[in-house]
Amino acid sequence: MKPNKPFNSFGPKGLLIAIIVVVGLFAVLIQLKDVAKDIGTISYKEFLDKVRQNQIKKVHKSGQFLSGLTHDNKRFETVVAERPGDFDLLEQHGVDFSVSTPSMSTGAWHLFLILGILMLLAIVSGAYFMRQMKNGMKGGGGSGGLFNIGKSRAKMFLPSMIKERFSSVAGAHEAKEDLQDVVDFLKDAPKYQRLGARITRGILLVGEPGTGKTLLARAVAGEANCPFFSVSGADFIEVFVGVGASRVRDLFAEARKKAPCIVFIDEIDAIGRQRSSSVGGGNEEREQTLNQLLTEMDGFETSKDPVIVLAATNRADILDKALIRPGRFDRQIVVPVPDLVSREEILKVHLQKIKYVADLDIRGLARGTPGFTGADLANLVNEAAIIASKKNQEEVTMYDFEEARDKLMLGKESKTMILTDYDKKVTAFHEAGHALVRLLMPKDTDPLHKVTIIPRGRALGVTHFLPEREKYNRTKEELLASIAAALGGRAAEELAFNEISTGASSDFKYATDIARDMVCDYGMSDALGKRVYIDSYERKGGFSEKTYELIDAEITKILNEQYDVAMKLLSENRDKLDKLSYELLEKETLYAAEIYELLGIEPRVDLRLVK
């Protein structure tokens, strides 16, 4: 048998039922009001005239109020005068009449009914909000209700709910190694305290979106087998000043009860942004929230068991200095965009969720995705599976991954774009120019992967190059070769058609950026010496106009020289340019092996490739 619940323990569902009942009563009242609308009010003289005209059928007198019914069944009301002779008049004209003691009129009855319904609604609502206030004062969790607005919105995960471990995180080897210290301390704090070591109070995970910062934080909690509080920085901010600070206090109060534990604040830049030096302004709520966070992190010493704060951001440069000083966020751990080895590991994790061909070149797939984050790689695998499913395939092939990568990087293949034969020919020579210049340049450049003239997104064609390894340093010759290859498309157009088009706009931007970095940042200009100019060049300050003119002249010189290099290579190999261009017109997409065989060029072999 279920115990009876007290009246004040009903929740939102009970309040909803009560409101429905009240609304039903209002509906009944409206019906009664509609009936009342059929009763007309007339003057007493008009009533007597109707009696004399034999229009009145029946009347009833109650005090001074008289109600009745006409022969055509219309109801009426009037106020009577105390004249006994009028009853003789009613009797003479055959009116059926009756008399009773005074009672409430219809209008007064409606008024009392409305007041009763309003009182009932006030009692029900008051009981509900009193219950909410009582729970709020007791510190009950949750974010529902007006009186819980200052409660923390963090979600707590018990150790049994956290399945992630460091083994669940592919790549990020250095970050996992740094976080292992936190795991060790949470598991065995006396090991460090016996020598007087103080564990890091806060750790800031810094990295681009999608690099796995949240996953790493959950893995730390999983490894340490401790409770995990997760909240976003935006969850602290509210329109009411002081609410954010209240939520911070509540979060850390709950965390200390569950210590040792981990508090994870995602997107901490939402509340940790650099405070304004001006007085007042529209950031008072955010700054109060930040001040409370700083205070709570300083107060960890009062807790016997450790509470570790992990926070994530991709904008560490805008955080308040007081937040990232030693004693609060002692460490900043960079979670980088995965390198070649890490991308291969991440792909293997996501590939476990789909069916793919046995001979899938995972290493080649990792090489073809430089700059992809873990989230990007997960999206790539899913997109490839979708493409294969549309074609009713049993397994996902390398071609599906190529298609998915091109779609994510360049856009969906444009099947409705209608190009003239001349436009296709120009595009074919343009892309052939890029590819051929790259093939004929020094061996330390990225090797060719494929060339296509199928329009995608805003590009009419694309030439792909795949890095053989992760490159952390590039030589001057390699940069010059990249510029020449970028300008090879325009050079091929001019050589084949003796005219130029607008298709090389993005190529010029890419080439100009490299040349500018060489001059202003890498110290690769003999005329300007071994120094950095890039900051001042952007801000237009700190150097004379002559220096700026020299910088512009050096950039232009590099671009013109490499354009001449591209033009010379293509002129000397015009037969290869024509052969590759017409083969592209016929097949639309050519892979590196096909191009090597077509042009009789020895395939690239990089002896420095790290297996």
Torsion angle of C-alpha atoms 317, 323, 325, 330, degrees rounded to 10: -90
**H helix runs in 391-533, sequence order:** 398-410, 421-440, 476-497, 505-520
Q: CA dist 178 to 114, 201, 205, 263, 344, Å?
A: 69, 14, 11, 17, 22
Q: Rounded to the nearest 5°, which phi and psi values hold at 387?
A: -60, -45
Residue keyed to tokens 């942004």: 273
Residue 487 and residue 566 in contact, taking contact as beta carbons nearer than 8 Å? yes
- Supply the residues annotated as catalytic: 431
Q: Are 97 and 56 in contact (CB under 8 A)?
A: no
Strand partners, 56: 70
Q: Is 210 left (phi over 0), alpha (psi -120 to 50) or beta?
A: left
Q: Which residues of 572-610 are buried (b: 16+ CB within 10 A; e: fewer)?
A: ebeebbebbbebbbeeeebebeebeeebebeebeeeeee
* Beta strand pairing call for 329-334 and 462-465: unpaired
- Tell me the C-alpha distance between 500 and 509, whole Å: 16
Whether the CB-CB separation of 527 and 501 falls below 8 Å is answered with no
Q: Give the side-chain half-sphere CA count within 13 A for 559.
A: 19
User: How far is 579 from 573, CA to CA, in rounded Å?
Assistant: 10
Give the distance between the most distant pair of CA atoms in the chain. Answer: 132
Instruction: Supply the DSSP string of 30-52, one letter for each residue.
Output: HHHHHHHHTEEE--HHHHHHHHH
C-beta separation of 162 from 218 below 8 A? yes
Contacts of 168 (CB under 8 A, 6+ apart): 215, 219, 222
